């Protein structure tokens, strides 16, 4: 530990204090430090990473407790923060495995022609549709890249600069091919099911694709709004390939450790076990923070990497904020529906339909054999209960990354929906956690005979755990749902989408700001631009 | 008639794609799996095996062998003790590089030299012309008698130490040891062409299938995959390792001096640390001394790191998805000074998208004035059928150089360290 690491309490005042060492806090702190600001990142827990951590819960077995895959990390963040030098190593998934209830499966891999053959095995018509679907989605995703990488233009600012930004956005959208614009609107407003039905007839293909439209959202694939989430999940890239996903070396905790090294390398100081109680303000300006232990940390600028509810109602007195903002935040929806059930396994699960092969385990394994399967799983959640037969996104990360488990053993990360944060009838996750995980395990055992015999250990992470451990309200993995009404100009609230807050010197950089959740680093990066622009303006 | 390597039965069974290429008259695997990128990723993340058997191999023995090689090779073989190996080159009298290879010193008077092309006439001729070597050097081609299996990647030690010899961890880069894999007597050297932690297993041709089987079996729980030519050639560009007939041409088979290059021009000047030692008048020394002392080098081989964000943006702004060069491009492209409309300052020899470095990279020969680390240059690409220049930064090779490549004792992966 460097001297700065041990002495951070007495080495103020800081130019900038970042509240929360999740991935966006680390990114933001790194950008601020890189610009020359004396920057302190304060993390409540003993490890940085927030919801992107890797924990060795059993000797040699690395569990990705919460977040478990990467795609949306912005290329600008990778290159501007020189992440490769600090160990950035995404292992791009070469396969997707969708087991079916009849024992067959859909397995897609890295080869275009092989995939067409595999899809044609299920439907010859869908092979053509697959190419068109991928093309159409890529065109929309590409059109959105510059929008993801810039702060939303200010709708309310009449200045010529702000008007010019709005005009540039209009020009960009107006310059799209008409079909791309049409597809964009269909995805932003419609359901994943409607969008997919237009292309495909194969249930398992649609089931898999529709599932990406409900990740982290209290939506079924037939709900309007699921098209937007499906699109969001396709906005990332690896090696220039839009929509591709990876496991980071060492899990997503491996990724946030890369960010921490990158932040330290440019001079940021990271303090763990340092919980911020509140932001200190004087005369409408932020002047620093007070820790839960009473330590005062003065700073010119405070940036909150926490979610909007924490940023605006817990770290500061909402009485200091405009009533409209407080009211808007009151209807900002979290309502988490996701859980994780993670396993240490003595061996690779078996799927008789694919024999002894193991190549199909090198990416996501998707338990969502049809749109109806996912929608019925959602039905349970609509009325306040967890799914009888849940949608499960499985990842045996140890197949791609042998560092995740001892030789021959495996870790299986399962993302589970639906498990609503609020259970009906006053039921509690404290009592329902194991029964819920039993359903997950039974579902896995139904697809993978003998699964139960492989289980060495099971970790259950309910929405309540996500809230209490990772600090994400109601267990929503995005710091608030990815609804059209909560994105872009409206994330987290109209008038406050450009990372500033009504309190001068107080900023927001969490996933509750544009462009939203998942591991993108974009809010952290874009918020740093706002901070640095304001500091430059205030300089004499 | 294309020949098979000693590993052919195993290689053929593992080749899922049936994509083959030819290497010195041998059938070799282009890529085993549908994703060449995943084979490359396994080398950087776990462990891969590669059949390097088509390399020519010459056994050079006798009391005059060291003196002969000291005269032939530009790098001083006298500094290579038994149990060590050297990456080396040989030049013509004008100091132009003829070929490169690895020389393994198996004993005081026993060497094994690898090369891409046939060199027997050259070796025998040079030996014959050296009075001191007369009757004291035997040169024999043993290409077909030996198989070479490269075991490369961060888990290569974990696989081989358990299988062959736990003391391998203490082998330094370019050291070798006798070992046993199953019933096969082998030589294991800490060498390879990937720039990663890695080893090469040299075995008798008849033992090759057993070596492959035992290494594969031991490697399975470590994520071992066989990797083909494409993955190797991505890795070697990242590692700044030159490829004969791509990055340089044989001096004696080149058509003019533009095609010829000297060790200094190839970034191999470090091999000539002992050039001032008059006791070793190796072939090409006088010309190389003159080149060095008069500053007559025309080029310097450097690495280029393309501005990937600018590359992506130039395409996106033109309304197209950026094409990534997942397969190495071995055709030459001009390199310009970084200023607007700058003049040409060199040319690329090898170009590829590096998944490890998350950007396109190149090995390029630049004029000495431009060959400065950090210097801004530009590469020309076509975007929507128009030439567009995109920025790149000059860097020293290798562009990718993980500490595990050199660390001794070599590191074991987390959880497996003793």
pLDDT in tens, B205-244: 999 999 999 999 999 999 999 999 999 999 999 999 999 9
Which is it for strands A96-99 and A105-108: parallel, antiparallel or unpaired?
antiparallel
> Any idea which of A16-30, A199-213, B82-96, B124-138 has the lowest mean pLDDT?
B124-138
Mean pLDDT of B4-12: 98
Most distant CA pair in chain A: distance in Å? 72
Between CA A125 and CA A230 the distance in angstroms is 22
Whole-prediction pTM? 0.96
Length of chain B: 418
Cite the beta strand spans of B170-297 per DSSP E. Answer: 176-181, 184-189, 198-204, 224-226
pLDDT at B418: 62
Between CA A241 and CA A75 the distance in angstroms is 12
Q: Is the peptide bond before A515 cis (omega within 30 degrees of 0)?
A: yes
Burial of A442 (0-12, 13-18, 19+ CB in 10 A): middle
> How many contacts does A have with B, using Cβ atoms within 8 A?
86
How distant, in Å, are the alpha carbons of B180, B270, B294 from that of B289?
A: 44, 13, 8
Residues 6+ apart with CB under 8 A from B71: B126, B130, B133, B280, B281, B282, B283
Chain B hits for A110, CB-CB cut-off 8 Å, are 33-35, 37-38
CB contact under 8 A, B415 and A111: no
Fold for domain B300-395?
Elongation Factor Tu (Ef-tu); domain 3 (2.40.30)
pLDDT tens-digit map of B18-48: 999 999 999 999 999 988 889 999 999 999 9
Task: Select the residue of B155, B312, B353 nearest A75 (Cβ to Cβ).
Answer: B312
Q: Is the peptide bond before A81 cis (omega within 30 degrees of 0)?
A: no
Burial of A4 (0-12, 13-18, 19+ CB in 10 A): middle
Give the best residue of B16, B30, B41 to mutate against chain A (max A CB count within 10 A). Answer: B41
Chain A hits for B358, CB-CB cut-off 8 Å, are 75, 78-79, 83-84, 88, 239
A203-211 vs A112-122: helix axis angle to the nearest 10? 120
A426 at B interface, C-beta within 8 A: no
Q: How many CA atoms lie within 13 A of B37 on its CB side?
A: 24
Closest C-alpha among B102, B80, B100, B79 to residue B90: B100
CB contact under 8 A, A142 and B316: yes
Fold for domain B1-296?
Gyrase A; domain 2 (3.30.1360)
Please give the share of chain B, as a percent, with pLDDT higher than 90. 93
pLDDT at A537: 61
Task: Tell me the nearest-neighbour CA distance from B332 into chain A, angstroms.
Answer: 23
Ordered alpha helix ranges (H), A40-95: 75-80
CB contact under 8 A, A109 and B357: no
Task: Tell me the nearest-neighbour CA distance from B353 into chain A, angstroms.
Answer: 8
pLDDT tens-digit map of B360-381: 999 999 999 999 999 999 999 9
Give the CATH number of domain A3-50+249-330+476-538.
3.50.50.60
B20 at A interface, C-beta within 8 A: no
φ, ψ (nearest 5 deg) of residue A35: -85, 0
A13 at B interface, C-beta within 8 A: no
DSSP state of A363: S
Bridge partners of A385?
A: none
Between CA A107 and CA B244 the distance in angstroms is 40
Give the best residue of A57, A397, A402 to mutate against chain B (max B CB count within 10 A). Answer: A402
Give the best residue of B234, B358, B381 to mutate against chain A (max A CB count within 10 A). Answer: B358
E strand or H helix at B49: strand B47-51
**Start-end ranges of CATH 3.30.1360.120 in chain B?**
1-296
pLDDT at B100 over 50: yes
pLDDT at B64: 96
Chain A hits for B33, CB-CB cut-off 8 Å, are 94, 110, 359
Residues 6+ apart with CB under 8 A from A443: A367, A389, A390, A392
How distant, in Å, are the alpha carbons of A161, A242, A268, B309 from that of A172?
A: 17, 19, 36, 19
Tokens representing B377? 């240059």
What residue segments make up the domains of chain A, in order of their start? 3-50+249-330+476-538, 125-201+212-232
In tens digits, chain A (540 residues) has pLDDT values of: 344 445 888 777 899 999 999 999 999 999 999 999 999 999 999 999 999 999 999 999 999 999 999 999 999 999 999 999 999 999 999 999 999 999 999 999 999 999 999 999 999 999 999 999 999 999 999 999 999 999 999 999 999 999 999 999 999 999 999 999 999 999 999 999 999 999 999 999 999 999 999 999 999 999 999 999 999 999 999 999 999 999 999 999 999 999 999 999 999 999 999 999 999 999 999 999 999 999 999 999 999 999 999 999 999 999 999 999 999 999 999 999 999 999 999 999 999 999 888 899 999 999 999 999 999 999 999 999 999 999 999 999 999 999 999 999 999 999 999 999 999 999 999 999 999 999 999 999 999 999 999 999 999 999 999 999 999 999 999 999 999 999 999 999 999 999 999 999 999 999 999 999 999 999 999 999 999 999 986 543
B159 at A interface, C-beta within 8 A: no
The answer for A 406-425 residues in CB contact with B (under 8 A) is 406-408
The average confidence (pLDDT) of chain B is 96
């Amino acid at each position: 530990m460097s001297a700065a690491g041990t002495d951070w309490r007495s080495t103020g005042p800081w130019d900038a204090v970042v509240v929360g060492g999740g991935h966006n806090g680390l990114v933001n702190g790194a950008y601020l430090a890189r610009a020359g600001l004396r920057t302190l990142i304060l993390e409540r827990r003993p490890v940085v990473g927030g919801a992107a951590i890797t924990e060795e819960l059993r000797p040699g077995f690395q569990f990705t407790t919460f977040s478990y895959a990467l795609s949306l990390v912005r290329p600008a963040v990778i290159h501007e923060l020189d992440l490769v030098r600090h160990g950035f190593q995404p292992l791009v998934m070469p396969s997707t495995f969708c087991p079916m209830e009849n024992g067959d499966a859909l397995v897609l891999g890295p080869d275009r022609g092989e995939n067409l053959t595999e899809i044609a095995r299920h439907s010859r018509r869908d092979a053509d549709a697959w190419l068109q679907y991928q093309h159409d989605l890529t065109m929309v995703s590409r059109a959105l890249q510059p929008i993801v990488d810039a702060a939303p233009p200010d709708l309310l600012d009449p200045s010529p600069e702000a008007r010019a930004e709005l005009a540039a956005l209009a020009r960009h959208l107006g310059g799209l091919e008409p079909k791309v614009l049409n597809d964009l609107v269909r995805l932003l407003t419609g359901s994943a099911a409607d969008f997919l039905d237009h292309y495909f007839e194969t249930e398992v293909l649609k089931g898999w694709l529709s599932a990406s439209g409900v990740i982290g959202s209290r939506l079924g694939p037939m709900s309007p709004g699921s098209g937007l989430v499906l699109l969001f999940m396709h906005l990332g890239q690896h090696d220039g390939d839009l929509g591709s996903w990876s496991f980071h070396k060492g899990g997503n905790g491996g990724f946030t450790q890369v960010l921490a090294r990158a932040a330290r390398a440019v001079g940021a100081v990271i303090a763990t076990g340092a919980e911020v109680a509140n932001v200190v303000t004087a005369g409408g300006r932020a002047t620093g923070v007070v820790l839960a232990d009473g330590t005062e940390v003065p700073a010119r600028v405070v940036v909150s990497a926490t979610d909007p509810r924490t940023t605006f109602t817990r770290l500061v007195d909402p009485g200091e904020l405009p009533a409209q903002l407080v009211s808007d935040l009151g209807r900002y929806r979290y309502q988490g529906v996701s859980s994780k059930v993670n396993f240490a396994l003595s061996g690779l699960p078996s799927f008789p339909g694919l024999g002894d092969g193991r190549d199909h385990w090198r990416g996501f394994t998707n338990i969502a054999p049809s749109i109806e399967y996912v929608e019925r799983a959602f039905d349970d959640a609509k009325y306040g209960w967890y799914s009888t037969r849940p949608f499960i996104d499985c990842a045996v990360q140890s197949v791609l990354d042998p560092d995740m488990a001892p030789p021959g053993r495996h870790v299986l990360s399962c993302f589970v929906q639906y498990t609503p944060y609020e259970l009906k009838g006053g039921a509690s996750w404290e009592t329902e956690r194991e029964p819920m995980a039993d359903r997950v395990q039974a579902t896995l055992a139904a697809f993978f005979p003998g699964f139960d015999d492989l289980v060495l250990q099971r970790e259950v992470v309910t929405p309540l755990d996500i809230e209490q451990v990772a600090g994400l309200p109601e267990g929503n993995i995005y710091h608030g749902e990815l609804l059209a009404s909560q994105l872009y100009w409206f994330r987290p609230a109209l008038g406050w989408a450009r990372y500033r807050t009504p309190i001068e010197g107080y900023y927001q950089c969490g996933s509750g700001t544009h462009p939203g959740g998942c591991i993108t680093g974009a809010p952290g990066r874009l918020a740093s631009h706002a901070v640095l622009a304001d500091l430059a303006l205030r300089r004499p | 008639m294309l020949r098979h390597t000693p590993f052919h039965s195993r290689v053929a069974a593992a080749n899922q794609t049936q994509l083959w290429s030819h290497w010195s008259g041998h059938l070799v695997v282009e890529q085993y799996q549908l994703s060449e990128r995943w084979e490359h990723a396994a080398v950087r993340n776990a462990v891969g095996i590669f059949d390097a058997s088509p390399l020519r191999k010459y056994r050079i023995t006798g009391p005059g062998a060291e003196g002969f090689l000291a005269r032939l090779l530009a790098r001083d073989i006298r500094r290579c003790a038994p149990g060590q190996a050297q990456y080396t080159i040989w030049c013509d009298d004008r100091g132009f590089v003829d070929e490169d290879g690895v020389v393994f010193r198996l004993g005081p008077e026993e060497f094994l030299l690898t090369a891409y092309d046939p060199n027997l006439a050259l070796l025998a001729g040079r030996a014959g012309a050296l009075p001191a070597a007369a009757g004291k050097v035997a040169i024999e081609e043993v290409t077909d008698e030996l198989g070479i299996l490269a075991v490369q990647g961060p888990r290569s030690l974990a696989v081989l130490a358990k299988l062959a010899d736990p003391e391998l961890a203490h082998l330094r880069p370019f050291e070798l040891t006798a070992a046993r894999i199953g019933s096969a007597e082998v030589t294991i050297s800490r060498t390879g062409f990937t720039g990663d932690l890695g080893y090469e297993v040299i075995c008798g041709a008849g033992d090759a299938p057993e070596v492959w089987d035992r290494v594969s079996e031991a490697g399975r729980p470590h994520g071992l995959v066989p990797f083909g030519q494409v993955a190797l050639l991505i890795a070697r560009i990242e590692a700044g390792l030159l490829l004969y007939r791509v990055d340089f041409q044989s001096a004696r088979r080149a058509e003019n001096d533009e095609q010829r290059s000297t060790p200094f021009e190839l970034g191999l000047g470090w091999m000539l640390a002992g050039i001032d030692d008059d006791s070793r008048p190796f072939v090409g020394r006088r010309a190389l001394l003159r080149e060095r002392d008069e500053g007559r080098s025309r080029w310097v081989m450097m690495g280029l790191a393309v501005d990937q964000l600018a590359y992506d943006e130039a395409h996106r702004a033109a309304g197209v998805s950026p094409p990534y060069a997942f397969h190495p491009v071995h055709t030459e492209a001009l390199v310009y000074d970084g200023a607007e409309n700058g003049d040409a300052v060199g040319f690329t020899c090898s170009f590829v998208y590096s998944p490890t470095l998350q950007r396109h990279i190149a090995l390029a020969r630049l004029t000495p004035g431009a060959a400065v680390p950090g210097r801004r240059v530009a590469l020309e690409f076509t975007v929507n059928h128009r030439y567009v220049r995109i920025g790149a930064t000059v860097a020293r090779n290798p562009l990718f150089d993980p500490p595990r490549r050199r660390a001794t004792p070599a590191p074991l992966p987390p959880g497996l360290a003793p």
